[in-house]
Amino acid sequence: MRATSSRGLGLRLVAAFSLIALLCALAVAYYVSQARQQVGADYTALVTDVVRAQQDPAALRMTLDSLIDSQDRIHLEQIHALLWRIPRRIEGVRLQLRRSELVPESYGELLEELDHVESRLPALEASVDVAAEQGLDDQGSEAILALGMEVEEGLAWAYSELNELVHRASADQRQLMERLALAVAVLLLLLLLAIAAVMRMLFHLHRQRETMRLQSRTDELTALGNRRWLSEAAGEAFERRCRHGVPLSLMLLDLDHFKRINDAYGHPVGDAVLVAFSQTLERQVRRVDRVARMGGEEFAILMPDSELADAEALAERILRATRAMPLPGPAAEHRLTVSIGVVEAEEERSFDRLYSRADQLLYRAKADGRDRAVAGHAAPRPAAGGVAAYHDAGVAQEALSANTRR
């Protein structure tokens, strides 16, 4: 009997665990990828607006410097264009800040500064309009320069602080997401370990159950199947015989004068003889045949797809192999023989009836002088007395076994 079910379960559990581990690895990789993309997306628009807005104070400073050097109307037009763009930049930054994950308290002061700058823009725009209509003089230039520098400094400071705040928040969020990704990976690893532990426990429980099941169906001494195992195998063989009409034969074997070996050499030597005989039987049978120890020195061979002639040929080979079998230890000079009863299933529907017929033929082999095989197709017909006469014959046969089956 081969314990293949545990190996098959182990392979299935390994395959399932490998699939789960692969899915967990893909989940972690997907989470990390999406987390990084999300972190970048959270601040990309805000950083872009801040960077663009930082160009406004620089452009305003450059225009004011040019206005000081040359009081040209083109510089007034440039300032006028900046005054149109700056409020829209401020509104865009304000909107992005509300949408961001930044705490309002962290940028409240910066918004106040931008609000102050925005409140100064109308005065600067009015000074630029007056200069454009009446001409640019020293007094007008100084007014524009004073208001322009105030706006430029407010914008430069607010945008610089905001840029630093956004980059710091982005770095903090990235670090947090990396920690979360690590935590997720650790949790998945713990989950995999838990699944592995459960699978290992299931595998060990299955092996223990299979071991107990095997022990309940296996002879401990010879490692052959026992009577229960042979009865289960016979049930399957009878079903196959009924379904496909294939032949089925049974052989019962009983070692001759085995008690003498135990009495002369001791039970350990007797056990070694039983083990050696079981190995001899396994070498003689086919792979599909089922060899079992029924108890004591009695063995049985169930032969699917075997007619009586095939079973008889196997019995002759076993007789010869048993006579030539060397015995272990101090029993080496002893010659072992076996008596065999062989039957082919005919009208039987159960293993017990087939076993009963084979048992009768085994008794006959014992009575006829042992070291032989007796085969038959059917049990002897009941005598004229009907069932009672057949029962009496059975009782007489049981009485004979007390003398012959030793």
What is the full DSSP assignment across 154-180? Answer: HHHHHHHHHHHHHHHHHHHHHHHHHHH
Q: Are residues 26 and 148 in the same domain?
A: yes
Q: pLDDT by residue for the chain (406 residues), tens digit each?
A: 445 566 666 677 677 777 777 777 777 676 666 555 555 555 677 778 888 888 888 888 888 888 777 767 787 788 888 888 888 888 888 888 887 777 888 888 888 888 988 888 888 888 878 777 777 677 777 777 888 888 888 888 988 888 888 888 777 777 777 777 777 777 777 777 777 888 788 777 777 777 676 667 888 899 999 998 999 999 999 999 888 889 999 999 999 999 999 999 999 999 999 999 999 999 999 999 999 999 999 999 999 999 999 999 999 999 999 999 999 888 888 899 999 999 999 887 789 999 999 999 999 999 999 999 999 864 443 333 333 223 333 333 443 344 444 4
Q: Are residues 131 and 247 in the same domain?
A: no
Q: Are residues 394 and 245 in the same domain?
A: yes
**Which residue bears the tokens 């928040």?**
169
Is residue 318 a part of any domain in this protein?
yes
Please give the DSSP secondary-structure letter assigned to residue 248: E
Q: Express each pLDDT in 226-251 by its tens digit.
A: 998 999 999 999 999 888 889 999 99
How far apart are the C-alpha atoms of 352 and 42, rounded to whole Å? 81
- Structure tokens belonging to residue 27: 């989940």
Q: Are residues 174 and 323 in the same domain?
A: no
Is residue 210 a part of any domain in this protein?
no
Is residue 158 a part of any domain in this protein?
yes
Q: Are residues 242 and 177 in the same domain?
A: no
How far apart are the C-alpha atoms of 185 and 180, rounded to whole Å? 8
How far apart are the C-alpha atoms of 176 and 309, rounded to whole Å? 83
**Which residue bears the tokens 């070498």?**
283
Question: CA separation (Å) from 236 to 101, 163, 165, 300, 350?
Answer: 72, 82, 80, 16, 11
- Give me the pLDDT at residue 254, please: 97
Please give the DSSP secondary-structure letter assigned to residue 218: B
Is residue 375 a part of any domain in this protein?
yes
The domain of 291 spans: 227-404
> What single letter denotes the amino acid at residue 248?
L
Q: Are residues 183 and 304 in the same domain?
A: no
* Helices 138-216, 73-99: crossing angle, 10 deg rounding: 30
Final residue of a structural domain among 197, 215, 244: 197
Question: CA separation (Å) from 39 to 149, 152, 225?
Answer: 36, 32, 67
How far apart are the C-alpha atoms of 149 and 229, rounded to whole Å? 103
- Give me the pLDDT at residue 32, please: 63
Question: CA separation (Å) from 384 to 45, 247, 347, 379, 387?
Answer: 110, 31, 22, 15, 9
Q: Are residues 129 and 186 in the same domain?
A: yes
Pairing of strands 373-376, 338-344: parallel
Q: Are residues 92 and 241 in the same domain?
A: no
Is residue 218 a part of any domain in this protein?
no
Q: Are residues 258 and 363 in the same domain?
A: yes
- Give me the pLDDT at residue 389, please: 28
Q: Are residues 191 and 237 in the same domain?
A: no
Q: C-alpha 243: how far from its chain's center?
A: 38
Measured CA angle at 191 (ends 185, 194), to 5 deg: 145
> What is the CATH number for 342?
3.30.70.270
Q: Which helix (H) or strand (E) holds 251?
A: strand 248-255
Q: Are residues 238 and 364 in the same domain?
A: yes
Question: CA separation (Å) from 5 to 8, 213, 367?
Answer: 5, 12, 44
Q: Domain count of the chain?
A: 2
Is residue 205 a part of any domain in this protein?
no
Is residue 211 a part of any domain in this protein?
no
Is residue 209 a part of any domain in this protein?
no
Q: Which residues are known catalytic residues?
A: 297
Residue partners of 195: CB distance under 8 A and separation at least 6: 17, 20
Q: Are residues 55 and 188 in the same domain?
A: yes
How far apart are the C-alpha atoms of 101 and 86, rounded to whole Å? 24
pTM strictly above 0.85: no
> What is the CATH number for 52?
1.20.120.1730
- Give me the pLDDT at residue 34, please: 58
How far apart are the C-alpha atoms of 97 and 165, rounded to whole Å? 11
